[in-house]
Each structure stands twice: as C-alpha cells, then as structure tokens.
Structure 1
C-alpha cells in the first residue's frame, strides 16, 4: 500500500472517489488559501505583528496553571471566559446596556461558532441567505448542515442598502441571514440602518439575523457595531473572533453575543466540553491584556489607510476599508499582478473577482514591500494595470 505522500494527486482523487462519500461532497475542494513561505505573507488577514512579550508570558503562566488539572474535563460552561468576553465587548463598543456572561458563547474559532448557529437554526429543509462576494465559508457551512444556500445580491460597488437587504429577506424568507460587516473580501462595513431593516424584514419569516463582525475592532472611527442593537432583539446574533485583533489565529477562539435563549439553543448542538482548558486559559490571559494587543490594531489601521492612499495614487481603485485588509481593483490582469508580487516575495489573495485582489495590512516594512512591488508592476514592463476611471 502506498503512502499519501507517494500517491500522485490524480491517484489520491481516484481513491477519494472510490469512498462512499456523500454525493454533495463529490468533486468539491476543501477551503484554503495558498500556504507559501515568503518574506511578506499578506493573504489571510492575520495580524502580522507578533504577540507582545508580556502577553506571551501571561498566556504561558495561565496555561501552566491549567495544565496541572488536565486530568479533569474543563469547565463545560467556560464561565470565567464568558464573563471576560462580556466585559471586553461592553467596553470596546461602549454599550449603554452592558452584556453579561449569559449573553456570550464561545467556540473553536468563529467557524465553529457559525457551525453551531447553522446546526441550531438551519439544517435540512431550511435555508441560509448571504450576499456574495463575501466570506467563502458560508456556503460550506450550509453544505455541512444540509441547508439550502441562497446567494443574495449586492450593488455594483459591492455595498448593501437597507432597502435591498430587506427586500431580499422578504422574498426568500430564509431561516438564517448573514450580514458580514466589515465584509470579507471587500472591507465594507454596514450602517446600523441596514441591520435594523434586515431585522424588521426577518420578523415575518422566523429568521435569525447574524452579523459577522470578525474584523470589528479595525473599523473606522465612528463606524458603529451591531452590538448596539442587541438589547430587545432576541433573534439578532453578533459574532466576533480573537484570531484577528487579538493576534490569536493559532489560538482558535471565536465568540458571539446574543440573547440568553440563543446561547441556550447552542448548548443543544455543541459537543461535550468543546472548549479545552488550554484554549480557555489562553483566551482569558489575552483578554486580561487586551490593551496591549489593541495597540497593534492602531498600527495596522495606519498601514491599511496608507495602502488605500498609495494605491489610489497609482491609479488603481482601492475600496474604503473598515477591516485589516484592502480590496482593490483597476487591474487588467489580476493573476499577472499576483504572480509579479509573489516573485517579489509578497503573497496576497486572489479572491476570484476579475481585476481585483485583496491585501492584508501588515507591518510598515511588509506594506512597503507590497507597495514598492506593485508600483513596479503598474509602471514597469509587466502588463499595465488599467487606469482607474
């Protein structure tokens, strides 16, 4: 018998096809971005600044204490973590009605958060509405839970209006609707009027409204969070993650805020003891040092705004961003531009939208490498980028 490493890709595909796989999984590709080691890896929206030393020490000490009790199951209700998450969100968004532990839920990354939501409120015979281009995992969550996925529509400039969103919810009557704000890959944030309109439209169809704020901490000054709308709206969910602003992509901690009855619903579908003691300890220590971690958020905002300004000066078409990345167009051949950047040691994301690419705002040095390389592409011998306008 050959090992997986010895098989060719074609042989692996043939062996996969021979398994009694679910029919809807046949011919599908797993989610993922290119994993290449280059000097500037700006393709998956990680925080490119290292975790501060003081936070590393705090996490190490908290994990050490947790390790003493690893012969026992962790706190199934992750009570201390929920209390700290509620306190953090209440302060971060200056909520007039502070959140409590009973409003919070956490899981292994926001992907598992979404899976729990779909398991509880979607499923066979039910539908989910999202608005591409948006996070490409949404249809995969639907497929994994036997839910019907409905691809909604955006405006030509990738924005969403309150009227359009409400009209589509009333037309499709989904069981779950996802509003991604700031949206991935476009970086655009939603006004609260859009969320309010979606919620009102959803009242007629037993719909849960989910606002995915994975990049919420990076939003522009004055851009509100949907957390402000939670009070009195029992079918509204706002999800966040510690992968981005907290620089814990490797820690795998996602969470949400909602009415207590929503978190009760999610208990019905979660696996026993789904958050390990190590995960809980890591997240608690990071929350205790949120101020140190948020200092990097401001540094990233500076580089993001620098990217927007300099891409515009190159004659390209960067979209305003409330995230830690910039989505830009105006390229005649986005694949040639992507390859040029990679040859220069800069890896960004081809999101499959013609003439557009997406770049994570990195350190000042990484951002300079990206801008210098793209400037050479735009003005040099490579196929010329289309002039904006």
Structure 2
C-alpha cells in the first residue's frame, strides 16, 4: 500500500482523482490539499463523498506533504508547482503534475503561451511527458511526471501512429476539438455560467490556445521534424468529454503492384493496430464507426476512428475521451501505476457510463 497526497483536491480533476483512488486497492489517500477549503470536511465540498471520505481539507504545504507520502498529485493552476518544487521534495517523493508547468521542454515557449515566468526551469529537462502509450518506459523511471493536457492527449493519440509512420504530412494537420465545460475548471467565471453555455457552442482561443505548442512538440518528436498545426477548441454544453476531429493530407505510398497511390483503409488500419492493438485504453473502432463522447464518459478509454477521403487526398481522424479521466485524473493514475509497478489498469477498469 502506498500513500498519496493530492494538492488541489477540490477542483474537478482533483475530485476525479479522489473518486478513482478510492477504488484503487494499492493506494491510501493521506492528504486532501485545498487552499480554498482548509479545515473543511472534504465530504462537505463534494457530497458524493459523504461517508466515503471523513478527512478534512489541509493546506498546500508540499514540503510537509512530501515527508508523509510516496506520491503527490498536483491538480493546480499553471505556475503553482514550478513556484514551489525543490530538489528536497523530489528526494522524498514522486510528483505527478496535472498542470502544464513541465510539459514543454522550451521554457521560452512556456512563458510565451502561458504568460507567466517559469520559476524552476532546472527540472524541465528531467520531467517525463506522461503520455503512457508513447513514453511508458521513461515514465517508469521518473521522479517528476508532466501529465498531458486533455485536448493534447486526445489530439496526439488520434494522429500519432500516422505521423510516426509518415502516412500524413503533419504540417497540414488541422485539429478541430470540442470539450465539455468541466475542462475549464471549477472556478466561477462568467463565460461558464449556465445561461452563457446552455444552448450555445463557441470557438475560443482561436490560433492562440496554449495546448497548441504541446501538440506540436509531441507530434514533432514522432515526425522527427518541427511540426506546425492549426488547433481550434470549442466549448459545448455538456459536463464531460472531448471530441477531436483532425484533418491532414495523406502521403502516397507504393503498392504491391508497383503503383503509387494513397494508402488504403486496410493499410491505415494496420498502422493503428501496430501501435494500439496491445494498448488496453486505446480502442480503434471498426470501419465507418465514428467515436462519440458518450461511449467513453467516466472511463479512461480513448476511442479512435478514421475515414479516408480519396476525392481530396485527405484523411479525417477522430478521437474521443473523457477530459477528466484520460484527459486528467485517469491518466495521472495510469502514470502512478507505471511508477510503482502496479498493473497499468489498476483502479482504472472503469466501464463507460451510459446514459
């Protein structure tokens, strides 16, 4: 049994971490950190935890927490962990950060897109980008894991095999993504009020969304070259879920008969299967099936589908996740399982909820 602490336990991602870890047979939650609710019973903040969690919320004293636990989850705003992380903390415990503080390897890029100064760039190089299906072996040896963003998890996994195998031109990639409102966090903001969101759909962060460089960086590693994309997120009136629809130009390949044509459905499917057939959490759908957020809600699954448009020479790739699970807390627990040698799906065998 390992001991875990959560800083930011009363945000949406933090609450989801609590829900998942309570069902994990190898973990005891030692610390429910929340600057906003110090000394208040956790079950009073989230009433679904009534008689399940008797603890009160503590502060966000990460130095003290590090001495008491084996792993710390920081479900905190950008800049928090970068401002408090020290070598002494990492000597005592492993840290899984759900913010963007250590996702980007170029500190200037981080500061440009997030508009804040990075306070501990000395840890950026050693931080492992915790996209388990891509960086599994690196995660196992890490002290500091940068848990990927929700949009980025969905966007990267949907396109990764085709970028890695050179079947698409990654610089033609356009990612059109929709998210439920929980992705914006639990803070009170006018644009997220019911009357603002209900019966409405809107694009935001157009050409400026801060997940853009994260997607570009990771797909750049896959491509072996710099990648520049268009990424446009949209807010839709639902609680959970992300659907990413991605468009890219196919590259022609030589066929067995010597002709040079666009890859067939079978060839593209074989590439997805090469990377994902043994991945518990990635489900590549059957031909002509399109992912839907309702079929992954409450789970750590990623559903992926694709359609080749022979008329235009492009491919349409689609991915769906639950933004709070595979896009945040579930992936963080998946990373924790890798760090401590547990089965990767321990505590995460969550059947999608429907309706």
Please indicate, yes or no, whether the TM-score normalized by the shorter chain is above 0.5. Answer: no
Who wins on radius of gyration, i.e. which is larger? 1
Normalising by structure 2, we get a TM-score of 0.30
Normalising by structure 1, we get a TM-score of 0.28
Flag the structure with more relative contact order, 1 or 2, with Cα contacts below 8 A and sequence separation at least 6.
1
